[in-house]
Structures are given as structure tokens and as C-alpha cells.
Structure 1
Amino acid sequence: MSDFVYKGEDFDDKVRKQVEFYFSDSNLQTDKFLWRIFEANDGWVELKTILTFGRMRQYRPEERVIEALKNSDKLVLSADGASIKRKDPLKDFNELRNIRKRNSVHVEGFPAKLSQDDLEEFFEKKIAPKLPKEKSVASIRRIRTKAKKEFFGTIDVEFKTQEDADYFIKELKICYPQGVLDENSEVEQKDELKKMSLLAFQELKEGGKRFGVNEVTKRRNSFNDSKGGSKQRKTSIDKRQKNSNGSGSDSGLESGAISEAAEDKLQEDNGDEAKESKESKDSSETAKSNEDKE
């Protein structure tokens, strides 16, 4: 357990926000570990399990966490305070999955050094206030390489309404760390964050195409076409997609990155995967569940 204990004045708010996210429509449909417990126990999950999650370890003592959760309008504690569940029944998973896909946007171009907290703060302070409907987002999922679990600047952000998602894509020009750019902003186009709907991105991915075209990719594609390399490239992409079990996103969301930098990173990691030991692959599911949840 980490020695760090969060002591900010917003302790209660942070605890409620984090645990409410774990039980949210957005998270439960992708968090296989938590969902199995949720489903097997009529929605109840022991608080001691929640407290082992990476982002909850900083909140102690347990008694203070319990007091904070008592004031949640989305969760309910058992009489002894040992377990917790959501108040509202969960919607049909197929419906939730369709909502998530419609409301999600794929974004590339963030610095690779950013943490989950950095991204959440950026959207909370710089993006959410500009949205037309809800002034917050449902979730942010950092996409990480499969082998090394490294974030490389790509996220999938789920908005609470499709209207907000469409507005974010079509009406806002975004740059990190500035936020929303106006007409007078002196930022080069190449420095703007690239964004498109998750559905459109998945169609590109299935077609083996890149997200965005620049002079480098134009020259490379021209060279491949003249040398017959485009067919080999497509075969390589199709093979990688077939062998992949997911994107390595923080919450298990299936995705990937097809920008030039992101794809090159994934190709590098695919080579590393062959070197992984069988012991690593056979690590227990319980151990995986206690990794940092973001």
C-alpha cells in the first residue's frame, strides 16, 4: 500500500466521485473484474475490495471513506458499512454499449507524460464548461500499449450526450494545455489535438487506414504503392488486428491508434510481446484486479 494519504479539503468529494465512477453505466460495462462481483452479489461489492483499487489507496482511513460515501446520491451502503451498491438499476448492456459508442470521441496528440488526473483536470476545467448540454464528461480512457502498458497520448473520451460529443468534434479546436482555441489563437494546425467519433475511428481501423494524413504518410504511401508495399502493409495490419485482444486501454475498452506515431509504437510493442514469459501471461486475475484502475 502506498504511504501517501490524501488530506485535501475536497477529500469527501473526490471519494464519492471516484466510487460513483466505478459503479457508473460507463465503467461497469467495460470493467470485467468489478462486473463479475457486481453480478454475483446482486449489485453489492465489499468496500475492502474497492479500497484496493489503485486510485482509492490514497483515501484513508476507511472510516472517513465510509462517511463520505454516506452522502452519495448514487450509491447506498449496507447497514454495517462493509458493502456498497448503486441505487439505480443497471440498463441493458447492449443499450449501454450503443450509447457509449455514439457518445465517445477518439482523441490523439496529448503528451505521453500526462496522468489520468492531468487529463481529467484538463477536461473538467478547459473543455466541460464549453459544452452545450452537460458540463462534465462520463469517462476518459487512456489508451496504452499492450506489452508495456505505456500511455502514448491517445484517449477515448465518453460524453454524457451525443450532442456534446458532436459539438466537441465539429465546433471546438483543442490544444493541450491551452484548451479551446479561438480565432486569434496563435497555434499551428499540427499542434491541435486530432479528434473524431469513436465509430468513425473504428471504421478507419478496420480498413487499415491512418487517422490523419501528413507529408510523411503521403510519401510513404506513394513509395509503398510503387513498390507493391501497400499490400504487404495491409497484410501486416490485418494480422496484428487479428492477433490483438484489445487496445491496452486503461479500462479495457477495445480500441487502438492508427496515427503514424501511435502505429509505430504498437508495431514496436508487438515485437516485444513475443519475448513475454509464460509466467507473466498466467498471472492470476486477482492480482490484475489490484492494479491501478483509472
Structure 2
Amino acid sequence: MGTDEVTSNKSSQECSRYDVAHSSHQLLKKVEYYFSDANLATTEILMRFISKDPEGFVPISVVASFKKIRALVHDNSLLAAALSTSTQLHVSDDGKKVRRKKPFTEADLEEVQSRIIFAENLPENHCYQNLMRVFSAVGSVKSIRTCYPQNSDGTTAAVNRSSKNDMVHAFVEYETVEDAKIAVNKLNGETNWRNGLRVRPLLDCVKHGTGRGRKDGHEGDDARDGDFINTINQPKGEQADDKAHF
């Protein structure tokens, strides 16, 4: 075997190892986000399983059915192997279920939801920087999740992020319940109800059956599969990318 051929084989093996490691990292970050406080508070599918299981487990097969996970892995055992390296998640001994290491109770759910507001009629310029400017003007923002309309096949519809779109909305999580209440009181565009910003407490939306993922759907079935920007540990003045982190 010639030197060039040996070098080529080594390069191919290194690329293959990189692809596997990169995919595993992506899987881990996506699933850790799906089990995060903010996501569990704004979607229903995982909480239904968590609430039913005495130990808070969710079947790996459920997680594997999410479209962004299907795009990365087709083998549940490989998914379980990737999740077993998580510092936030615990995989069952048989590799068929996964749960949070830190339990998330119904009381935790209500506490997080009490700090989240549901915002509609977003400004024409609804990039991260502008939304942060708007919502942080009245309180300390922990995270912002912008959700975009979806096509019938589950893909995100083309949306001009610098123009008005009634289907685009956001979940804004504040550090405290008090800040969330202030945001609702001060940011509602009451003088221009048709086109002005509309802000409601997420808990009110949940009670009326709006503002969370569909009961019969899962991640990616509706507009919940949007941009998520977490402001924790983000340096002040840093220009955040207006893209999903996961």
C-alpha cells in the first residue's frame, strides 16, 4: 500500500470519527434542550410521559420520533448511547428510556410557566437583538424563544424576519414572576390592539388551551420548533446569532 493511499485512509477515518462525534454532540444538545425547563413549560408531549411514569422516564422511541432527531440518527441504541454521556439526563439500564437527573415536578412546571409570557404581533424587526431590547426594557430576561409557522410537511415556512407576520410569536422567560407581570402590564399595545404587541401570561394561555404545543403532536409538529436563544452566561454586548442553538 502506497504512502498516499495510507494517508487517504487515515484522513477518511478521521473524518468519519469527527462526523460521529459531531452528530453525537448535536443529539445530546437537542435532547437536553427538549428536557429543559423552558421547553417542558411550553410543550406538552414530554410532560405527559414524565407525569405518567413514577420515575419521570420517557421512552427513547418517543424522543427518536422527533423529526430533528430522525435527521441525525435512525438507531435507538445509538441515541441511547449518545444520551448516556449527558450530565443532565439519565438513560435506563436497558437503554429504552431516558429521564432528567433533576426531577421536574408539576409544581416546577407551574413555577416556570408563571415566569413566561406569550407574545404575539411581534415587531416587524423580530430578530433576537430587537426582541431582547423590547422585553428586557421592563425586566431581566432569561430566555427568548421565537416560533415560526410551519408547512404541512413539518418544515419551517419561509418568513422574512424583518417584516410583520401574524403567525410568528415568542415565549419570553423572565427571571422572576414580578418581571413577567410587569411585562404584561407595560408591553401590551392596548392603544393599537390590531397591530400592537400582544402579551399574555403563559399560565392564562394554558388554562384556556392556547400557548403550548398541541396535545396530539410532538416536537416539530407546530410552530414550537423555532429559534431559542438562552441569555444565561451570554456576555453583555455580544451579537447573538438569530438562529436556533439546537
Relative contact order, higher structure (CA 8 A, sep 6+): 2
Higher helix share: 1
Per the normalisation by structure 1, the TM-score is 0.43
Per the normalisation by structure 2, the TM-score is 0.50
